[in-house]
Structure 1
Amino acid sequence: MTVGDGSQVRGGGPGSGPPPIRVLLADDEHLIRGALAALLALEDDLAIVAEAASGPEALAMARAHRPDVAVLDLQMPGVDGVRVAAELRESLPDCRTMIVTSHGRPGHLKRALAAGVRGFVPKTASAQQLAEIIRTVRDGNRYVDPELAADAISAGDSPLSAREAELLELAADGAPIAEIAERASLTQGTVRNYLSAAATKIGAENRHAAARMARERGWI
């Protein structure tokens, strides 16, 4: 079965019960995304209505197909999963969002929750577990991986705003200001201001030291 622009709909076979949960999968690793889509399609109450390989594509697919739940990889080209979730909260408030990641740190969780994400799951979860979490999120409930939740609590409250944390993470690998600005869709001056404020809050001498200290404390 196909929808709209020809995207393949997987799962959600015929039946007299309620309509299946419409799911968008966004992950830049094609093999992982395809395998996950195939496994989730085996669930009678789930239908994969669209797939995406980048943040901008995830936003476009979500607006075109209006899924019930968007399952988003944390780190994607263009726009990361948390920013996609934040934009979907504004443009598609009925679409629940959840993050699936292999880079789960306390700072990521806190950013995600601030963006309205309802689920935060490691990629080590099985397809069956993920299906249950999709149902949980669709019903308006929240699921956070217990181990990551414990790490977030032990890390303490971060003094950084969500944007400061995002930009510090982009700076953590030594990226120049111009690259950070391009990836965050901000001007270079705005990026400098955010990073300077973040360094001041942390008590670091520069953005590189601030990123290192924030990572050590679990804030990014």
Structure 2
Amino acid sequence: MTRILIADDHELLRDVLRSYLEAEGGFSVVTVADLDGALAAIAAGPAFDLVLLDYDMPGMNGFSGLETAIAASGDCPVALMSGLAPTGVTDRVLGAGAAGYLPKTLPAKSVVNAIRFMAAGERYMPLDLGRPASTEAGPGLSPREREVLAGLCAGHANKEIARDLGLREPTIKLHVKLICRKLGARNRTHAAMIARERQLC
């Protein structure tokens, strides 16, 4: 069971997020209304697999609340969410060592996938907020995505790629989906074709 802590001062949003996750199955969700509540829940244990903090809720004081929660959470990933992207969110979130940034404007399915992704130990950042990448690094591909892409180019199935990289198969599926979006590919085969044409693998 994946334990998620959602901290947001809007009761409706907390309830909706919890409903989404519990409907997916495999999630145990705790909700609180402010940073103090989040810190208390983290301290009380047992450990969460992901802590999700609203940028604007009481006690946060912007990014300083994120840094406080990260310091208190130990090895547990902590991510930020907001209705509007704060200025410099990409650099500040990644620089603080957070698991990522989750816009509240994302579709429900994308929210669930992003939460599952971060709870698995990966980082999530919406494509339109990501840093521009050099041409050598490919179109915004992270080092992990390039490893997965190499597996696609080699014709490996998700299960094989997961085994080779020491990851879970659902995590590989999410990477493949993001790779296809970044490359403008219709599917994994098309992604491998584009990668070979651009000499990305």
TM (norm. structure 1) is 0.55
For residues 60-91 of structure 1, what are the alpha-carbon distances to aligned partners after superposition, in whole Å with 9 as ceiling and x for unaligned?
Answer: 11222321101111111122463343223323
**Structure 2 residue matching 1:42: 3-state secondary structure:** helix
Q: 2:71 aligns with which of 83, 90, 94?
A: 90
1:61 lines up with 2:38 in the alignment:
no
Q: Report what 2:12 is aligned to.
A: 31
Give the match's secondary structure for 2:71: helix
Distance in 2 (CA, whole Å) between partners of 1:128 and 1:81 is: 27
Which of these residues, 110, 119, 124, is aligned with residue 143 of structure 1?
Answer: 124
Aligned partner of residue 97 in structure 2, secondary structure: coil
Q: What residue is the counterpart of 1:126 in the other structure?
A: 107
Q: Deviating runs (4+, > 6 A) in structure 1?
A: none
Matched, 1:116 2:116: no
Q: Could you say what the CA RMSD is over the residues aligned between the two structures, in angstroms?
A: 2.0
Equivalent-residue separation in structure 1 for 2:116 and 2:12 (angstroms): 24
What is the CA–CA distance in structure 1 between the aligned matches of 2:4 and 2:54, rounded to whole Å? 14
Alignment of 1:190-205 (within 5 A): none
- Partner SS state of residue 60, structure 1: helix
How many equivalent pairs are there? 132
CA 1:127–1:53 in structure 2 vs 1: closer, same or farther (change >3 Å)? same
Distance (Å, rounded) in 1 between the aligned partners of 2:66 and 2:76: 9
The share of aligned pairs that are identical, in percent, is 30
Q: Given that residues 52 and 78 in structure 2 are in contact (C-alpha distance below 8 angstroms), is that contact kept between their aligned partners in structure 1?
A: yes
Q: Do the aligned residues in 1 keep the contact of 2:39 with 2:72 (CA within 8 Å)?
A: no
Shift of 1:106: 4.2
In 2, Cα distance between the equivalents of 1:119 and 1:108? 10
Unaligned runs of 5+ in 1: 1-19, 155-220
Read off the aligned partner of 1:135 and give its amino acid letter.
R
**Where in structure 2 are there 5+ consecutive unaligned residues?**
134-201
Cα pair 1:72 1:81 within 8 Å, conserved: no
Letter in 2 for 1:86: E
* Aligned mates of 1:95, 1:73 — CA distance in 2: 17
| Matching of residue 70 in structure 1 with residue 65 in structure 2 | no
- TM-score w.r.t. length of structure 2: 0.59
